Amino acid sequence: MSEAPTNSQVKRAGRIIRSFFAHESPPADPATWDEFHEAVGIIQAHRATFRTPLVTANNSLRSMVRTLGLNGQVTQRLKRMQTIMNKLVREQTLALDRMQDTGHRRLPRRLALPGRRVRAG
């Protein structure tokens, strides 16, 4: 999938993944496996939509930390596919398009300013 999936495609992919893992043994029907692989592709495309905004925000935060002379490390990550799948199975009512922190930045709560400590919000 080369373009961002629609919200309805993302929701459907989440339901397919949840249903796939609801069984105690893997489904025998090849069509179910095809549907599963298609859903994984949609989730990967959805996850990728967070990459560019995440990098942009991370670079801005790093620039601010550097400009203010703070000692702190800004980090970023995309939620791993396995974590997304586990969360879908664990939280039965969660729609994938509403899942929080698919793309995430971290800034330490306390940043060291030369001569004093500053609490980050």
pTM above 0.85, yes or no: no
Contact 27/33 with Cβ under 8 angstroms? yes
Q: How confident is the model at residue 118 (pLDDT cuts 50, 70, 90)?
A: very low
Please report the pLDDT score of residue 107 as a whole number. Answer: 62
Angle ∠(72,77,93) on CA atoms, nearest 5: 125
Please report the pLDDT score of residue 39 as a whole number. Answer: 96
Please report the pLDDT score of residue 45 as a whole number. Answer: 95
Residue 23 has pLDDT above 50, yes or no: yes
Q: Which residue has the higher pLDDT, 86 or 103?
A: 86
Angle ∠(47,21,91) on CA atoms, nearest 5: 65
Average pLDDT in the chain: 83
